[in-house]
Structure 1
Amino acid sequence: MMLSPAPQIAALGDDLLGEILLRLPDMASLASAALACKRWHRVASDPAVFRRFDALRRPPLVGFLLTDRGDMPPTYRSPNLFFVHATRNPNLAAAAADGDFFFEDLPAVDSDDEEEGYDWDEWRLRGCDGGRRLLSRRHDGLDLAVYDPISRTAVFLRPDGVFRKCTHVVRYAIVVDEADGSFLVIGFGFSYMTAVFSSRTGKWVSINMERVKMGKSDVEQEQDEEDEYVYLSFGSDGIAAGRFAYWRSDTKKRRHFNPVESILVLDTATMEWSVITAPFPAGESYCVADMPEHGGLCLFSSKEQCLQLWVRNSIGGWVLKKDFSLLNDWMKKIRRAEWMKRVRVLAARAGYVYMEFWSIRKANSYFLVLNMRTMKMSVFPNNPEDPHRGRAFPFFMRLEPLLGPDEDQNVHLDV
């Protein structure tokens, strides 16, 4: 019996061609394939293919940016920063060697505010995602910049007429689309004033927060105006997790709250807000993750030196999917020798979980990168002279999208 000849690759549909391109080993191979013909370029540069290509590979981690706690929150001051390089990839290391991770190239501003202890003229770090930093400055915190420390380019923006100028209560988050480098800046403040800036349109748009409220079981009501509760409950800036932005509650800092950890979440795909209650006690370290293989929104938490993965069940409750100890022989040894007691979960992305293992007595710590597929862990030492126990941001190199054949290869996002 004669076998039918294999179909020529030109006869393959775009969907099947996309599946083949997803199996190329790296971005350079995908870029080379995109030059084969116009059809291949169209499929290879499709945002859906690009997102899946990025998600199937190890995220290009460059390092970790650490902040101190200080006497005032970062919304009022510029925190002390420390950067830990954390890559063994020579290409990433070379690209990041001259990165402006402390945003020293950004212009300062001459401030008229002379109040002692407030660095109004300095840029203050508010968020990090997709190779970009979100910064603010001035008394009202409404001068914003989205900065790429590798290319040293910035987009400057200001939400005029959106938020009140008399307060510092706007809480921000930045979410970057890895497929094309576009970004959203989300801010909310008192009285549910909420707006989103899109780099695609260059405009701020007010969005409906639909009166997201805490239940009586979560909040001990002291005031008549419930509008205050979003700010009082979620007093820090937001964190990106895939298509989600989330804000942690201040449960441990507020004496009038019951010990329930709540999380304010915005799904940037639908622009829907929600408040979810964590399935673990307040005070445990955790992060939100965007994991399509587990239905989307998931949680990673740490309990002592164990890592837990929580997923949603069919009725919207939380189910403990995985629970495993991180204490290998090395961690057991270092825990005793250097009083390494706390595991802080920083982020989860593309099957990798990023954590910090820090000492309760010393300034040093270790960053852990766990591959959830192989359960292998990479370790990067952090040896500062002073402790940095404020927020920590993993910094990833943003993959450049594939430009069209007629597009300028030297375009920079610089305003």
Structure 2
Amino acid sequence: MEPWERSESASVKKPMAPPMDALSDDLLGEILRRLPDMASLASAALVCKGWGGVASDPVIFRRFLFLRTPPLVGVILTKRNRECAAHRNDLRFVAPRVCDGGLLLLSCGRYSSKLAVYDPLQRTAIFFEPPAGWHMVRYAIIADEVGPSFQVIAICPWHSHRFAVFSSGAGKWVVVNSCRHSWMCVDDGMAAGRFVYWRSNTKRNTMNDNEEQIYVLDTKTMVWSVITAPFPAGESYCVADMAEHGGLCIVSSKEQCVLLWVRDISGGWVVKKEVSLLNQFGYLKRIRRDEWMKRLRILSMKAGYVYMEFWSIRKSESYILVLNLNTVKLQQIFRNNADERYRGAAFPFFLRLPPLPAADDDKELQDA
């Protein structure tokens, strides 16, 4: 048959697709980012050693942290003097300062002359001292999401234009002189993804009682920014890094309502979602009435889940609430029926997950 006599219905042979091992790491990374869930990424990581290395890359792995339920171990409660709820006898002179990624930053002594980053599950600690000559230091810790490393950020009222960074890799403080902010009235900081932030302490600040300032540090670029909260000072809130909403967002509470604030196109703040806990969940209204549960405190937000403490103004009891903000469902509610009041800082404690495993070449051959 001549080429011009070929039937229209005759199939045309398609070119063969390139082999999978011919894909570059960048192209493979773009493909893995589009997988639907963490289980699919884990399966892809077991294909071969090369795929395992790409799947374990922090840039790709971080994308899937927003697609899974954070493994909440529990909540560490403290008194106002920062005495720990769980181990107050053994840690009488140790104060939990901040928590992130399953790691606690502890300070020892009245003037916090000793510091330690403690892993309660592994029962290991790294000890170090505050920056030399610094007093009344405010700290924040940010843990590596896929590894054992961490950073501690320190700011000090007496060094207004400087901050210091302690890296677990270097094992020492590095003072940075590129800051233009004053830290006269701030509490210890909190992590929000790659960011850490410090909230202005409005109880001590008498100059800007009606304005809540949030000092934010990008730990990747070490660039500072200041956010003016879109609500009056005194409300409970936390900052979250939410890629699906364009970056940093704020979750606040007002009269047992949870509000999600996001940036609009002009850079202002707008309420993206509002959840009335008492109207949405009737049994909370009954708990509020029977047990005088009046105060709602936002603890943190992680992967779309808001962690809150609902506590009584008359009794020592409190409830820990976990709200899925995407589905507007109360995922967990558990009661703290302690005899003593723990009205100090409260830290949701999450299990640290190791990097995704990468299969070796022998296992690849066995699976083939």
Q: What's the TM-score once normalised by structure 1's chain length?
A: 0.75
Q: Which amino acid aligns with 1:332?
A: K
- How far does residue 338 in structure 1 lie from its aligned partner after superposition? 1.1
- How far does residue 132 in structure 1 lie from its aligned partner after superposition? 0.3
The residue that corresponds to 2:326 in the other structure is 373
Q: Which has the larger radius of gyration?
A: 2
8 Å Cα contact 1:335-1:341 kept in structure 2:
yes
Task: Tell me whether 1:337 sits opposite 2:340 in the alignment.
Answer: no
Task: Tell me whether 1:144 sits opposite 2:111 in the alignment.
Answer: no
User: Of the candidates 52, 66, 89, which is equivalent to residue 63 of structure 2?
Assistant: 52
8 Å Cα contact 1:287-1:299 kept in structure 2:
yes
The residue that corresponds to 2:194 in the other structure is 243
Equivalent pairs counted in the alignment come to 341
- How far does residue 102 in structure 1 lie from its aligned partner after superposition? 6.8
Cα distance in structure 2, aligned partners of 1:391 and 1:211: 28
Cα distance in structure 1, aligned partners of 2:88 and 2:192: 23
Q: Classify the secondary structure of the residue corresponding to 2:339.
A: coil
Describe the superposition over 1:375-410 as per-residue Cα deviations: whole angstroms up to 9, x where unpaired: 11021111111111111100000111246679xxxx
Task: Tell me whether 1:232 sits opposite 2:184 in the alignment.
Answer: yes
Describe the superposition over 1:72-116 as per-residue Cα deviations: whole angstroms up to 9, x where unpaired: xxxxxxx33225xxxxxxxxxxxxxxxxx7795xxx9xxxxxxxx
- How far does residue 255 in structure 1 lie from its aligned partner after superposition? 3.7
Q: Equivalent residues in 2 for 1:83-102 (5 A)? A: 83=86
- How far does residue 144 in structure 1 lie from its aligned partner after superposition? 1.6
Describe the superposition over 1:259-314 as per-residue Cα deviations: whole angstroms up to 9, x where unpaired: 21111211112211222211111111111111111121111110101111111233
- How far does residue 58 in structure 1 lie from its aligned partner after superposition? 0.6
Q: Classify the secondary structure of the residue corresponding to 1:251.
A: coil
Q: Which amino acid aligns with 2:147?
A: D
Query: Judging changes above 3 Å, is the alpha-carbon distance between structure 1 residues 24 and 172 closer, same or farther for their aligned structure 2 residues?
Result: closer
8 Å Cα contact 1:245-1:268 kept in structure 2:
yes
8 Å Cα contact 1:252-1:282 kept in structure 2:
no
- How far does residue 53 in structure 1 lie from its aligned partner after superposition? 2.1
8 Å Cα contact 1:163-1:170 kept in structure 2:
no
Query: Judging changes above 3 Å, is the alpha-carbon distance between structure 1 residues 402 and 82 closer, same or farther for their aligned structure 2 residues?
Result: same
Q: Which amino acid aligns with 1:351?
A: G
Q: Equivalent residues in 2 for 1:161-200 (5 A)? A: 162-164=131-133, 167=135, 169-189=136-156, 190-192=158-160, 193-200=162-169
Query: Judging changes above 3 Å, is the alpha-carbon distance between structure 1 residues 354 and 103 closer, same or farther for their aligned structure 2 residues?
Result: farther
User: Of the candidates 98, 114, 128, which is equivalent to residue 157 of structure 1?
Assistant: 128
Q: Which amino acid aligns with 1:178?
A: E
Cα distance in structure 1, aligned partners of 2:38 and 2:307: 26
The residue that corresponds to 1:90 in the other structure is none
8 Å Cα contact 1:21-1:44 kept in structure 2:
no
User: Of the candidates 398, 408, 411, which is equivalent to residue 352 of structure 2?
Assistant: 398
User: Of the candidates 263, 270, 284, which is equivalent to residue 221 of structure 2?
Assistant: 270
Q: What's the TM-score once normalised by structure 2's chain length?
A: 0.84
Identical counterparts, % of pairs = 54
Q: Which amino acid aligns with 1:210?
A: C
Q: Which amino acid aligns with 1:181?
A: P
- How far does residue 9 in structure 1 lie from its aligned partner after superposition? 5.0
8 Å Cα contact 2:200-2:213 kept in structure 1:
yes
- How far does residue 256 in structure 1 lie from its aligned partner after superposition? 4.3
User: Which segment drifts farther, 324-333 or 251-260?
Assistant: 251-260
Task: Tell me whether 1:308 sits opposite 2:279 in the alignment.
Answer: no
Cα distance in structure 2, aligned partners of 1:103 and 1:47: 39
Q: What residue ranges of structure 1 are gaps of 5+ in the alignment?
A: 71-78, 84-100, 109-118, 213-229, 407-415
Higher RCO, Cα 8 Å, sep 6+: 2
Q: Classify the secondary structure of the residue corresponding to 1:52.
A: helix
